[in-house]
Amino acid sequence: MKRILLVDGDPAALRLLQQELAVLREACDLSFVAGAAEALALLEQSTYDVVLTDIHLGGMGGLELLAEVKRRYPQVVRLAYSGCAHQDLVVRGLAVAHQVLPKPLSAELVWGTVSRACALRDQLGSAALLTLVSGLHRLPSLPSVYEELVTVARDDSSTIDQAARIIVKDAGLAAHLLHIVNSVFFNLRRTVVSPAHAVALLGLETVSALVLSASVHQTLQTAESDRATVASLQRHGLAVAQSARQFVSMEEVGRLALDQAFTAGLLHDLGRLVLETQMPAECRAVRQLMEGERLTDVEAERVVLHATHAQVGGYVLALWGLGAAVVEAVVFHHEPRSAHRREFSVLTAVHVADGCAQAERSGMESGKVDHEYLAEIGFADRFAQWKAAV
Q: Is the pTM of this model over 0.85?
A: no
End-of-domain residue from the set 95, 124, 153: 124
CA angle 329, 102, 56 (to 5 degrees): 115
3-class DSSP state of 185: coil
The pLDDT tens digits for 247-282 are 999 998 888 889 899 999 999 999 998 898 888 899
- Angstrom distance (rounded) from CA 14 to CA 37: 16
Do 222 and 259 lie in a common domain? yes
Do 219 and 279 lie in a common domain? yes
Contact 340, 112 (CB under 8 A): yes
Instruction: Give pLDDT tens digits along the chain (390 positions).
Output: 889 999 999 999 999 999 999 999 888 999 999 999 999 999 999 999 999 999 888 778 889 999 999 888 887 888 888 876 555 666 667 678 887 888 888 999 898 888 888 888 888 888 889 888 878 877 777 788 888 898 888 787 889 999 999 998 888 888 888 888 887 677 777 888 899 999 998 888 899 999 998 888 877 765 455 667 777 888 899 999 999 999 999 998 888 889 899 999 999 999 998 898 888 899 999 999 999 999 999 999 999 999 999 999 999 898 787 888 999 999 999 999 998 888 999 999 999 999 999 887 665 555 689 999 999 999 999 999 999 988
- Angstrom distance (rounded) from CA 289 to CA 287: 5
Domain that holds residue 381: 134-389
Listed residue (156, 160, 175, 28) closest to 88, CA to CA: 156
Do 145 and 277 lie in a common domain? yes
- Angstrom distance (rounded) from CA 89 to CA 61: 13
Output the pLDDT for position 187: 73
- Name the β-bridge partners of 4: 30, 50
Output the pLDDT for position 385: 94
Do 138 and 106 lie in a common domain? no
Query: According to DSSP H, which parts of 190-336 are helical?
Result: 195-202, 204-220, 227-251, 255-267, 270-278, 280-293, 297-304, 309-320, 324-331
Do 210 and 161 lie in a common domain? yes
CA angle 194, 197, 203 (to 5 degrees): 130
Do 294 and 379 lie in a common domain? yes
Q: Which residues contact 67 (CB under 8 A, 6 or more apart)?
A: 96
Output the pLDDT for position 241: 93
CATH code for position 77: 3.40.50.2300
CATH code for position 144: 1.10.3210.10
Output the pLDDT for position 102: 83
Residue 129 covered by a domain: no
Do 84 and 206 lie in a common domain? no
DSSP state for residue 258 in the 8-state scheme? H
Do 179 and 275 lie in a common domain? yes
End-of-domain residue from the set 74, 92, 124: 124
- Angstrom distance (rounded) from CA 33 to CA 343: 31
Do 206 and 314 lie in a common domain? yes
- Name the β-bridge partners of 28: 2
Residue 374 covered by a domain: yes
**Distance, CA of 23 to chain centre:** 30
Contact 178, 211 (CB under 8 A): no
The pLDDT tens digits for 187-206 are 777 888 899 999 998 888 89
End-of-domain residue from the set 88, 104, 124: 124
Number of separate domains in the chain: 2
